[in-house]
Amino acid sequence: MPLVKICGLTRPDDAAHAEQSGAAFVGVILAGGPRLLSTEQARQVLGPPRPGVRRVAVFGDQPAHEVVTVARALALDVIQLHGDRTPEEAAYIGSVSGRDVWPVLRIAGTELPPNTEALAAVHRTLVLDAHVVGELGGTGVTLDWDGLTEQIRLLRERVPGLTLVLAGGLRPENVGDAIRLLSPVVVDVSSGVENAPGVKDPVRVQLFVQAVRDAAEKSR
Protein backbone atom coordinates (compact mmCIF):
# COMPACT_ATOMS: atom_id res chain seq x y z
CA MET A 1 0.00 0.00 0.00
CA PRO A 2 1.32 3.46 -0.85
CA LEU A 3 2.10 5.60 2.16
CA VAL A 4 0.04 8.75 2.72
CA LYS A 5 1.42 12.23 3.35
CA ILE A 6 -0.97 14.96 4.49
CA CYS A 7 0.72 18.26 3.70
CA GLY A 8 -0.01 21.95 4.17
CA LEU A 9 -1.05 21.42 7.78
CA THR A 10 -1.55 24.59 9.79
CA ARG A 11 -3.32 23.33 12.93
CA PRO A 12 -2.06 20.81 15.52
CA ASP A 13 -5.47 19.14 15.71
CA ASP A 14 -5.45 18.51 11.96
CA ALA A 15 -1.99 16.97 12.20
CA ALA A 16 -3.10 14.71 15.05
CA HIS A 17 -6.17 13.62 13.10
CA ALA A 18 -4.09 12.88 10.00
CA GLU A 19 -1.80 10.67 12.07
CA GLN A 20 -4.73 8.90 13.71
CA SER A 21 -6.31 8.32 10.29
CA GLY A 22 -3.25 6.45 9.06
CA ALA A 23 -1.00 9.06 7.46
CA ALA A 24 2.65 8.02 7.53
CA PHE A 25 3.86 11.59 6.95
CA VAL A 26 2.61 14.96 8.17
CA GLY A 27 3.87 18.07 6.45
CA VAL A 28 4.07 21.83 6.88
CA ILE A 29 4.92 24.58 4.40
CA LEU A 30 7.87 26.90 4.92
CA ALA A 31 8.02 27.91 1.27
CA GLY A 32 5.37 30.62 0.98
CA GLY A 33 1.74 30.68 -0.07
CA PRO A 34 -1.50 30.60 1.96
CA ARG A 35 -0.32 27.71 4.16
CA LEU A 36 2.99 29.33 5.13
CA LEU A 37 4.06 28.85 8.76
CA SER A 38 6.84 30.29 10.85
CA THR A 39 9.36 27.91 12.35
CA GLU A 40 7.66 28.14 15.73
CA GLN A 41 4.22 27.52 14.24
CA ALA A 42 5.64 24.53 12.37
CA ARG A 43 7.04 23.16 15.62
CA GLN A 44 3.60 23.35 17.25
CA VAL A 45 1.85 21.68 14.31
CA LEU A 46 4.37 18.87 13.79
CA GLY A 47 4.92 18.10 17.46
CA PRO A 48 7.97 16.18 18.71
CA PRO A 49 9.65 13.28 16.91
CA ARG A 50 7.81 10.02 17.59
CA PRO A 51 7.39 6.52 16.20
CA GLY A 52 4.72 5.84 13.62
CA VAL A 53 4.74 9.14 11.74
CA ARG A 54 7.45 11.11 9.95
CA ARG A 55 7.53 14.90 10.05
CA VAL A 56 8.19 16.84 6.85
CA ALA A 57 8.77 20.51 6.08
CA VAL A 58 8.55 21.93 2.57
CA PHE A 59 11.18 24.53 1.70
CA GLY A 60 11.33 26.88 -1.28
CA ASP A 61 14.35 28.87 -2.41
CA GLN A 62 15.86 29.46 1.02
CA PRO A 63 19.67 29.21 1.10
CA ALA A 64 20.95 25.72 1.83
CA HIS A 65 22.43 26.74 5.19
CA GLU A 66 19.05 28.12 6.28
CA VAL A 67 17.30 24.90 5.28
CA VAL A 68 19.76 22.88 7.35
CA THR A 69 19.43 25.19 10.36
CA VAL A 70 15.63 25.00 10.37
CA ALA A 71 15.64 21.24 9.79
CA ARG A 72 17.82 20.79 12.85
CA ALA A 73 15.74 23.22 14.93
CA LEU A 74 12.57 21.27 14.12
CA ALA A 75 14.27 17.86 14.35
CA LEU A 76 12.69 17.03 10.99
CA ASP A 77 12.60 13.55 9.57
CA VAL A 78 12.32 14.70 5.94
CA ILE A 79 13.29 17.86 4.05
CA GLN A 80 11.18 18.45 0.95
CA LEU A 81 12.87 20.78 -1.53
CA HIS A 82 10.75 22.86 -3.89
CA GLY A 83 12.23 25.57 -6.05
CA ASP A 84 14.95 25.21 -8.65
CA ARG A 85 17.36 23.03 -6.72
CA THR A 86 20.33 21.42 -8.44
CA PRO A 87 21.34 17.83 -7.72
CA GLU A 88 24.45 19.22 -6.01
CA GLU A 89 22.37 21.36 -3.63
CA ALA A 90 20.10 18.42 -2.79
CA ALA A 91 23.13 16.24 -2.06
CA TYR A 92 24.74 18.92 0.12
CA ILE A 93 21.60 19.53 2.18
CA GLY A 94 21.15 15.83 2.80
CA SER A 95 24.77 15.30 3.74
CA VAL A 96 25.04 18.24 6.13
CA SER A 97 21.60 17.88 7.74
CA GLY A 98 21.61 14.10 8.10
CA ARG A 99 17.94 14.07 7.06
CA ASP A 100 16.17 12.36 4.20
CA VAL A 101 15.75 14.78 1.32
CA TRP A 102 12.89 14.76 -1.18
CA PRO A 103 13.67 16.95 -4.20
CA VAL A 104 10.56 18.15 -6.04
CA LEU A 105 10.24 18.05 -9.81
CA ARG A 106 7.48 20.30 -11.14
CA ILE A 107 6.09 19.09 -14.45
CA ALA A 108 4.05 20.81 -17.14
CA GLY A 109 2.72 18.36 -19.70
CA THR A 110 4.21 14.89 -20.14
CA GLU A 111 7.91 15.60 -20.65
CA LEU A 112 10.33 15.18 -17.76
CA PRO A 113 12.97 17.95 -17.50
CA PRO A 114 16.56 17.14 -18.56
CA ASN A 115 17.88 17.04 -14.98
CA THR A 116 15.28 14.50 -13.80
CA GLU A 117 17.54 11.48 -13.67
CA ALA A 118 20.40 13.33 -11.95
CA LEU A 119 18.05 14.80 -9.35
CA ALA A 120 16.36 11.45 -8.71
CA ALA A 121 19.69 9.64 -8.35
CA VAL A 122 20.95 11.85 -5.50
CA HIS A 123 18.69 10.44 -2.78
CA ARG A 124 16.79 7.80 -4.81
CA THR A 125 13.64 9.83 -4.07
CA LEU A 126 11.70 12.24 -6.25
CA VAL A 127 8.47 14.18 -5.72
CA LEU A 128 6.38 14.82 -8.84
CA ASP A 129 4.16 17.89 -8.69
CA ALA A 130 2.35 20.06 -11.23
CA HIS A 131 4.13 23.14 -12.51
CA VAL A 132 2.01 26.25 -12.03
CA VAL A 133 3.64 29.60 -12.72
CA GLY A 134 4.18 31.56 -9.52
CA GLU A 135 3.21 28.67 -7.25
CA LEU A 136 5.33 26.02 -5.54
CA GLY A 137 2.58 23.55 -4.66
CA GLY A 138 -0.83 23.07 -3.13
CA THR A 139 -2.53 24.31 -6.31
CA GLY A 140 -4.89 21.40 -6.85
CA VAL A 141 -3.67 21.03 -10.45
CA THR A 142 -3.48 17.40 -11.55
CA LEU A 143 -0.64 15.83 -13.50
CA ASP A 144 -1.26 13.86 -16.69
CA TRP A 145 -0.65 10.48 -15.05
CA ASP A 146 -1.48 8.46 -18.15
CA GLY A 147 0.82 10.56 -20.31
CA LEU A 148 3.67 10.20 -17.82
CA THR A 149 3.44 6.41 -17.44
CA GLU A 150 6.11 5.46 -19.97
CA GLN A 151 8.57 8.15 -18.87
CA ILE A 152 8.24 7.10 -15.24
CA ARG A 153 8.79 3.46 -16.22
CA LEU A 154 12.02 4.43 -18.00
CA LEU A 155 13.11 6.59 -15.06
CA ARG A 156 12.69 3.65 -12.70
CA GLU A 157 14.88 1.53 -14.98
CA ARG A 158 17.60 4.19 -14.91
CA VAL A 159 17.33 4.87 -11.16
CA PRO A 160 16.77 1.47 -9.51
CA GLY A 161 15.08 1.60 -6.12
CA LEU A 162 13.53 5.00 -6.80
CA THR A 163 11.01 6.17 -4.20
CA LEU A 164 8.38 8.02 -6.19
CA VAL A 165 6.31 10.54 -4.25
CA LEU A 166 3.26 11.69 -6.20
CA ALA A 167 1.66 15.09 -5.54
CA GLY A 168 -0.40 17.45 -7.66
CA GLY A 169 -4.18 17.56 -7.51
CA LEU A 170 -4.73 14.32 -5.62
CA ARG A 171 -8.05 13.85 -3.83
CA PRO A 172 -10.15 10.93 -2.60
CA GLU A 173 -11.98 10.72 -5.93
CA ASN A 174 -8.90 10.31 -8.14
CA VAL A 175 -6.04 8.92 -6.06
CA GLY A 176 -6.96 5.37 -7.05
CA ASP A 177 -6.38 6.17 -10.73
CA ALA A 178 -3.05 7.82 -9.92
CA ILE A 179 -1.90 4.77 -7.99
CA ARG A 180 -2.98 2.40 -10.75
CA LEU A 181 -1.11 4.32 -13.44
CA LEU A 182 2.12 5.37 -11.70
CA SER A 183 2.47 3.06 -8.65
CA PRO A 184 3.90 5.71 -6.32
CA VAL A 185 5.47 4.76 -3.00
CA VAL A 186 3.98 7.86 -1.34
CA VAL A 187 0.89 9.91 -2.25
CA ASP A 188 1.05 13.54 -1.10
CA VAL A 189 -2.19 15.49 -0.65
CA SER A 190 -2.93 19.01 0.53
CA SER A 191 -5.74 20.98 -1.13
CA GLY A 192 -7.64 17.80 -2.01
CA VAL A 193 -8.61 17.23 1.63
CA GLU A 194 -9.33 20.84 2.64
CA ASN A 195 -12.30 23.04 3.43
CA ALA A 196 -10.08 26.11 2.95
CA PRO A 197 -6.32 26.59 2.44
CA GLY A 198 -4.61 25.00 5.43
CA VAL A 199 -7.88 23.84 7.04
CA LYS A 200 -8.23 20.09 6.63
CA ASP A 201 -11.59 18.38 6.37
CA PRO A 202 -11.40 15.36 8.71
CA VAL A 203 -13.92 13.40 6.66
CA ARG A 204 -12.00 13.94 3.42
CA VAL A 205 -8.74 12.97 5.12
CA GLN A 206 -10.31 9.67 6.16
CA LEU A 207 -11.82 9.19 2.69
CA PHE A 208 -8.41 9.78 1.11
CA VAL A 209 -6.67 7.21 3.30
CA GLN A 210 -9.45 4.72 2.64
CA ALA A 211 -9.25 5.33 -1.12
CA VAL A 212 -5.51 4.56 -1.00
CA ARG A 213 -6.22 1.35 0.89
CA ASP A 214 -8.91 0.37 -1.60
CA ALA A 215 -6.59 0.99 -4.54
CA ALA A 216 -3.87 -1.12 -2.94
CA GLU A 217 -6.34 -3.95 -2.36
CA LYS A 218 -7.47 -3.88 -6.00
CA SER A 219 -3.87 -4.09 -7.25
CA ARG A 220 -3.17 -7.33 -5.41
pLDDT per 10-residue tile (average), the chain, 220 residues: 97 98 98 95 98 97 96 98 92 97 90 92 94 53 92 96 95 97 97 96 98 91
Are 130 and 142 in contact by the 8 Å Cβ rule? The answer is: yes
What does the pLDDT look like over 67-86, one tens digit per residue? 999 999 999 999 999 988 99
156-192 burial, b for 16+ CB within 10 Å, e for fewer? eeebeebbbbbbbbbbbeebbebbebbebebbbbbbb
15: buried, middle or exposed (CB in 10 Å: 19+, 13-18, 0-12)? buried
pLDDT given at position 53: 98
CA 16 to chain centre: 18
pLDDT given at position 42: 98
What does the pLDDT look like over 124-168, one tens digit per residue? 999 999 865 445 555 567 899 999 999 999 999 999 999 999 998
pLDDT given at position 110: 86
Q: For residues 108 and 139, give the distance between their C-alpha atoms in angstroms, rounded to a whole number.
A: 13
Q: Based on the structure, what is the number of domains in the chain?
A: 1
Task: Note down the domain range covering 25.
Answer: 3-218
* CATH number where 145 lies: 3.20.20.70
pLDDT given at position 139: 57
